[in-house]
Amino acid sequence: SGVGFLFEKEVRVLENFLKNYKKPLVALVGGRKVKDKAPLVEKFSEMGDWVLVNRLIWKEIQEGKVKIKVGKNVLFPIDEKDGGLDIGPKTIKLCREKILEAKTIFWNGPFGKIEDKRYIEGTKKLAEAILESKAFSLIGGGETIELTNQLGITQKFSFASTGGGALLKFLAGEKLPGLKILGYYGD
Question: For every residue of the chain, which 3-state class applies, written as one string?
Answer: CCCCHHHHHHHHHHHHHHHHCCCCEEEEECCCCHHHHHHHHHHHHHHCCEEEECHHHHHHHHCCCCCCCCCCCEECCCCEECCCCEECHHHHHHHHHHHHHCCEEEEECCCCCCCCHHHCHHHHHHHHHHHHCCCEEEEECHHHHHHHHHHCCHHHCCEEECCCHHHHHHHHCCCCHHHHHCCCCCC
| 137 within domain boundaries | yes
Q: What is the pTM of this model?
A: 0.91
How would you classify the pairing of strands 104-108 and 136-140?
Answer: parallel
Q: Is residue 107 a part of any domain in this protein?
A: yes
> Is residue 81 situated within a structural domain?
yes
- Residue 185 is assigned to a structural domain of this protein: no
Give tens-digit pLDDT for 28-62: 999 988 888 888 899 999 988 999 999 988 888 88
Q: Is residue 187 part of a domain?
A: no
Question: pLDDT band for position 80 (50/70/90)?
Answer: confident
Own/partner pairs, 116-122, CB within 8 angstroms, 24+ separation? 116/85, 118/82, 118/85, 118/86, 119/81, 119/82, 119/85, 119/86, 120/86, 120/147, 121/86, 122/81, 122/86, 122/87, 122/88, 122/91, 122/92
The confidence score (pLDDT) of residue 2 equals 56
Q: How many CA atoms lie within 13 A of 77 on its CB side?
A: 25
What confidence tens digit (pLDDT) does each residue in 136-148 have? 999 999 999 999 9
Determine, yes or no, domain membership for 181. Answer: no
What residues are paired with 137 via a beta bridge?
A: 105
- State residue 115 phi and psi, 5-degree precision: -65, -15
Question: How much of the chain, in percent, has pLDDT values that exceed 90?
Answer: 57
Range of the domain at 141: 5-175
Domain annotation covers residue 52:
yes
pLDDT digits (tens, 9 = 90+) for 82-99: 888 999 999 999 999 999
Q: Is residue 182 part of a domain?
A: no
CATH of the domain at 135: 3.40.50.1260
Q: What is the tally of structural domains in the chain?
A: 1
Distance CA 182, CA 86 (A): 42
